[in-house]
Amino acid sequence: MPSFEFATANRIIFGKGKLREIGAIAAPFGTRALLVVGGMMFRAAPLISQLSASGVEVFTYMVEGEPKISTAEEGARRARDLHCDLVIGFGGGSAIDCGKAVAAFATNHENPLHYLEVVGAGQPLIEAPLPYIAIPTTAGTGAEVTRNAVLASPEHQVKVSLRHPLMLPIVALIDPELTYSLPPEITASTGLDALTQVIEPLVCAAPNPITDALCREGIRRASGALKRAFHNGLDAEAREEMAVVSLCGGLALANARLGAVHGFAAPIGGMYSAPHGAVCAALLPHVMEVNIQALRKRDPQGEALRRYEEIARLVTHIARPTPEDGVMWIRDLCSGLRTPPLATYGVQRSDFPTLIERAINASSMKGNPITLTPSELKEILDRAL
């Protein structure tokens, strides 16, 4: 067994109604909080009320869409100007990631490119970020328990990560009640992102026993809950199950590796106005299918193929499934959730060479269970288009 490391948020709080405890949870960490919030501000009203009642003064910073490097820079300036000693992220993965970056940039004053991967020097943070509390309102990215923030760099047409162990939140508060009002299309895209993030680490090139257990549990729960949450957003049990899946995915990806779905998602998200979860949903069955084909040709006795068979067993409940049975189940799930193809977001075949070149160099692609050839990568894009 290879050596491994496992790290996560200092404290994870999970349960329906837990948002009502946020005042007492946050107060020990600061008295002036910058609240980084995504989507509709009115959803944060109960959170602000709870914080204020506990003596925490709240200043808000709205994040529209997926955050850019400049978005995080501006948030950090606001935190410094207001003398904030605490940052709270409230929203989907975009708001949570932006909050992490704001907390880091608020105390580390070099140009952001000094710290960013791919487009910058990738240097480590020097100072600890401001204390950061993450409160997700979707069940998708698991960003509340990861050590990186994904930011868009429009001038480079790519999404990149700010990454450091000190960026792990001091508290991750997951209240499934916050997901009840998600519309079906967001439930589908975020849910398929969560499912991807328990599938890819299980078959990746560097799994470990802890992430394996988390992935198996997440796949098992998602197989029964995602369709139910999509068709009935007020199904409390299904929403709770998907919140667990998202949490498992965040824990897994932060401590193992991902694969070709996320290898493509970064350049696609950088080149087009395409939500991350929707891109993952469009790619997942096709990446699985091409990976299995490549493994059968070049590593038929390897562990990864056996793990794809295990995924098939978890989702289909067939006693002796083939890896392809799992692909078929995922494809049917995506169809039932009305997952749009990549062409919906403007992806064209003329862009394939650029996407493939950037995907090959993406950090996530290096975790794929087998190195895919450019023609195999093109096949994935052809099928997902």
58-75, pLDDT tens digit by residue? 999 999 888 999 999 999
Rounded to whole angstroms, how far apart are CA atoms 27 and 21? 11
325: number of Cβ within 10 Å: 18
Lowest pLDDT segment from 163-172, 248-257, 265-274: 265-274
Domain 12-179 has CATH 3.40.50.1970: yes
Contact 139, 190 (CB under 8 A): yes
Confidence of residue 41 (pLDDT cuts 50, 70, 90): confident
Residue type, position 348, single letter: Q
Q: What is the pLDDT of residue 334?
A: 96
- Check whether 5 has a pLDDT greater than 80: yes
Q: What is the pLDDT of residue 76?
A: 98
Q: Which residue has the tokens 């439930």?
A: 187
- Check whether 373 has a pLDDT greater than 90: yes
User: Six-digit token pair at 329?
Assistant: 């189940």
pTM for the model: 0.95
Angle formed at CA 151 by CA 188 and CA 140, multiple of 5 degrees: 20
- Check whether 2 has a pLDDT greater than 80: no
Q: What is the pLDDT of residue 259?
A: 98
* pLDDT tens digits along 296-347: 999 999 999 999 999 999 999 999 999 999 999 999 999 999 999 999 999 9
CATH number belonging to domain 184-384: 1.20.1090.10
Give the residue-averaged pLDDT of 33-52.
93
Rounded to whole angstroms, how far apart are CA atoms 70 and 105? 11
Give the residue-averaged pLDDT of 362-381.
96
Q: What is the pLDDT of residue 210?
A: 97
Q: DSSP character for 385? A: -
- Which has the closest alpha carbon to 92: 56, 51, 64? 64
> Mean of the per-residue pLDDT values for the chain?
95
Q: What is the pLDDT of residue 360?
A: 95
Domain 12-179 and domain 184-384 have a common topology: no
- Check whether 158 has a pLDDT greater than 90: no
Confidence of residue 19 (pLDDT cuts 50, 70, 90): very high
Contact 127, 108 (CB under 8 A): yes
> How far does CA 304 lie from the centroid of its chain?
22
167: number of Cβ within 10 Å: 20
Q: What is the pLDDT of residue 13?
A: 98
Q: What is the pLDDT of residue 105?
A: 98
Domains of the chain by residue range: 12-179, 184-384
* pLDDT tens digits along 215-248: 999 999 999 999 999 999 999 999 999 999 999 9
